[in-house]
Every structure is written in C-alpha cells, then in structure tokens.
C-alpha cells in the first residue's frame, strides 16, 4: 500500500512538473505606487507549446481602488502583425483582444510582454487591489480552445511620505515659488538675475540663493533674514553638498574660476577654471555632490571625492541640471540640446530622451513620489513632466528667466 502511495505521489509530481514546464501561462504583473499615480503593468505570456494564435481575456478590478484606463502593445508584439484592441465591457472590467493577421500560415503569439495596461491608483494608501484574469479564451491554429495557467496581479497603494519640492523662478514681478502641496504662489523677493535652492543653514528648509546687481545673497527661509555672500557677481550658480558634510554649499562660476562656499566654515574652495554653466549632483553615489559643468570642450563632471574628471559629451547643452530622474537613488545629469531634453542615467551611462528642446530645465520631486520630475520652460509656458507617470502639467503661461526647485 505504501508503495502504491509513493508511486501515486511520484506520478503527481511528474504531472505537475510537465504542466508547469509545458503550459501556456498568462500573467498579470504586480507593483506598488502612490495614490494619484498611474502605473504601467505588463501582461506576459509563455507559449511553451507554440500553438496559441489568438486570445481574449478580461481583467477585473475594484474600481474604488484602481482603474485600468488603457491597454497597449507589449514589447513582444513589436515588429509583428498581431493587433491589440481593448474595451471596457462593464465597470471594473478591461477587455484585451490579441488577434493574428489574415495570412497563411497563421503566426504564433510570441512569448514575453504581450500587453501593457495603464493602472490609475485611486484608493487610500495601504489598500491593495487584485487584478484578476477572467473569461480567458485562447485558440490554436486549428480553432481548438487552449486552457492556460493564470496568475493574477496585485497593486498596493503605498503612503506618500516624501516631501514635495516647490518650483522656484524669476519673473518681472519678482522671485516666486509655487507650493506643490497647495498650488499657491509665494513671493520671496524682487526680481533677481539668477536663482538656486539649497539648505544653507542646515534647518531642513531650502533657502533662496540669488544674484542681484548688488551681489550674491541668501535669504533664509525660516527666519526671512538675508546674508550677503559676496559682491562679485557669478555668471551661474547652483547648490550642493560639495564636501560631504551633510550641508548644502553655494556653487558658482566667476571669471577667476568655479568655487564653492563651505556653509560651515564659510571658506571658499576653488574647483576648476571658469565654466559656462554649473550644476551639482551626486553622480557616483559616494554621498558627495559632484561638479557638473560646461566648458568650451564639452559637458564634464568633476567627482568630489577624487577630484578626477569625466567628459560626458562634446556637444554643448543649452542648460543643465541634476536630479534622480528614474528613482534609482542616484543623481543623473539633465540637459537640453537642439535635439531635445535628455538625462544621462548615472548607473548605465545611457541617455533617455524626455521631451523636445526646452529653453530652461531644472529637476525636483514635485509630486513627492521619490523620483525627480522634469521642470522646463518652453515657448508656451512653464511645465512639469512627472517622471513616474510621464504625464505633463502646465504650471503657468508666464515665462520665467531662471528656474530651480527646492523644499520651501
């Protein structure tokens, strides 16, 4: 009797192994995100028997938590003749149909990412929505039905704990910042020539750094007090923790070179010869911000911990900034060129195009999702492109002469 039980168990293991190794598997991806964001969720298919030529399936969901707003071709359908269509047959249901072309022989649905659904997160933080596959119909080249293995997805809405950066800019009416929580505008000063943001006094609130005709100044956000840093006017300014002491320093370029002012000791440190533009960001992830700048020979980075230089490209951008544009925890280089606005992924070294050419660019986490967003000025206004959702928001039609972002 024991031998029979062992044999049956062995046969079941063999059967389950064959099913999992040689089955058609349809899977809805899982992810997490912040309330109000839209996630791109992949639908993947494993066509191990290579006999599925068409399919239709529904994804049902709790519409009080999420909404599947669209479905589009996945990367596996790129370069194929398969067509994807989508509809909403009922509330809380998204239908996807993948149909083959009319040809002989009929092609097989490829393995991989066959669709991408756009999921808007509407529910309260802490809630989880299940994306359930239902009414799945698959057929082979003979018109016979195929029964796949199904794996549902889950979307968790997480609390948004990251502070939101505010947009800072100069207009003819003065220097203003837009509160990203309320959308209201706050005037900080009369018009400046240049502006930057940084927590110079270490109180966890960014301060206004600006250039006026009388010199380079800081307005401390908490106290409202002003501090004149120097009378000599820089041609560009930025802010970053240039020495790794945990405090933002003022960075600028003058005719005598690029310097930063240590916010603790108030001493000046020369980093290089004069640059055309400067920015600061921790490109090599060593907790020390690096000098990013343009000189006539190209766009360069000087690494703060080693003092070594890295030429990023020979083509000169029209404006530069730095931020974590993809949410990997590492600052990337952002710039605008005649071919468009790009950021350079500091982890891979690859370039990612974000938009058409801008007049000005800056980076900041405007929506508080721990990923910096593109802030830019184009001919029709000041805009934000949110990095996680890739959606755009027009902030104002009035064009600023300089921009930055900080938590005010």
Q: Which pair of structure tokens corresponds to residue 125? A: 């933080």
pTM over 0.85: no
Alpha-carbon separation of residue 370 from 116, 160, 264 (angstroms) = 23, 9, 28
Q: Where are the domains of the chain?
A: 2-158, 166-406
CA-to-CA dists, residue 61 to 30, 90, 95, 106, 382, angstroms: 13, 11, 12, 33, 37
Structural fold of domain 2-158: Immunoglobulin-like (2.60.40)
Query: Residue 22 has what pLDDT?
Result: 52
Note whether 204 and 197 are within 8 A (CB). Answer: no
CB-based contacts of 152: which residues, under 8 Å, 6+ apart? 28, 130, 131, 132, 133
Beta bridge partners of 186: 177
Q: Which helix (H) or strand (E) holds 238?
A: strand 236-240
Residue 226, number of CB atoms within 10 A of its CB: 12
Tokens of 353: 């195009």
CATH class of 166-406: mainly beta
Per-residue pLDDT of the chain in tens (408 residues, 90 and over written 9): 444 343 334 334 333 334 334 579 999 999 998 887 889 999 999 988 878 999 999 999 999 999 999 999 999 999 999 999 999 999 999 999 999 998 888 999 999 999 999 999 988 888 999 999 999 999 998 889 999 999 999 999 987 667 899 999 999 999 999 999 999 999 999 999 999 999 999 999 999 999 999 999 999 999 999 999 999 999 999 999 999 999 999 999 999 999 999 999 999 999 999 999 999 999 999 999 999 999 999 999 999 999 999 999 999 999 999 999 998 889 999 999 999 999 999 999 999 999 999 999 999 999 988 899 999 999 999 999 998 788 999 999 999 999 999 999
Q: CA gyration radius for the chain? A: 27
pLDDT of residue 6: 38
Return the H-helix or E-strand segment holding 12.
helix 2-21
Residue labelled with tokens 């706050």: 186
Tokens representing residue 317 in the block? 């951008």
Nearest to 114 by CA among 102, 100, 130: 100
DSSP for 271-331, written as a single string: EES--SEEEEE-SSSSSS-EEEEEETTEEEEE-TTT--EEEEESSPPSEEEEE-SSSSSS-
pLDDT score, position 274: 98
Q: In CATH terms, are 2-158 and 166-406 the same topology? A: no
């Amino acid at each position: 009797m024991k031998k029979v039980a062992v044999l049956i168990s062995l046969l079941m293991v063999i059967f389950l192994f064959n099913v999992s190794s040689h089955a058609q598997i349809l899977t809805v991806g899982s992810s997490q995100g912040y309330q109000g964001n839209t996630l791109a969720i992949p639908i993947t298919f494993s066509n191990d028997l290579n006999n599925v030529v068409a399919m239709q399936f529904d994804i049902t969901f709790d519409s009080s938590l999420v909404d599947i707003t669209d479905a589009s071709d996945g990367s596996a359908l790129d370069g194929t003749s398969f067509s994807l269509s989508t509809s909403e047959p009922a509330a809380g249901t998204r239908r996807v149909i993948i149909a083959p072309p009319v040809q002989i022989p009929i092609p097989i649905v490829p393995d991989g990412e066959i669709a991408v659904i756009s999921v808007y997160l509407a529910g309260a933080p802490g809630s989880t929505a299940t994306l359930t596959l239902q009414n799945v119909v698959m057929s082979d080249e003979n018109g016979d039905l195929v029964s796949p293995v199904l794996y549902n997805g889950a979307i968790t809405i997480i609390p948004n704990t990251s502070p939101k950066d505010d947009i800072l800019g100069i207009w003819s009416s003065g220097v203003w910042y837009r509160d990203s929580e309320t959308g209201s505008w706050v005037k900080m000063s009369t018009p400046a020539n240049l502006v930057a943001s940084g927590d110079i006094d270490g109180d966890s609130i960014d301060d206004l750094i600006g250039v006026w005709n009388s010199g380079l100044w800081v307005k401390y956000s908490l106290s409202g007090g002003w501090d004149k840093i120097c009378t000599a006017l820089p041609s560009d300014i930025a802010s970053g923790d240039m020495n790794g002491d945990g405090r933002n320093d003022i960075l600028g370029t003058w005719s005598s070179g690029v310097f930063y002012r240590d916010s603790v000791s108030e001493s000046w440190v020369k980093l290089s010869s004069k640059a055309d533009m400067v920015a600061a960001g921790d490109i090599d992830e060593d907790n020390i911000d690096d000098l990013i700048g343009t000189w006539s020979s190209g766009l360069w980075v000087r690494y703060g911990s080693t003092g070594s230089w890295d030429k990023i490209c020979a083509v000169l951008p029209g404006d530069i900034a730095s931020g974590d544009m993809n949410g990997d925890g590492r600052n990337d280089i952002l710039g605008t060129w005649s071919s468009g606005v790009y950021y350079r992924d500091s982890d891979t070294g690859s370039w990612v195009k974000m938009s058409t050419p801008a007049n000005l660019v800056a980076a900041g986490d405007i929506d508080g999702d721990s990923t910096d967003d593109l802030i830019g000025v184009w001919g029709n206004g000041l805009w934000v492109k949110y990095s996680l959702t890739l959606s755009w928001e027009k902030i104002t039609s009035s064009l600023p002469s300089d921009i930055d972002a900080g938590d005010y």
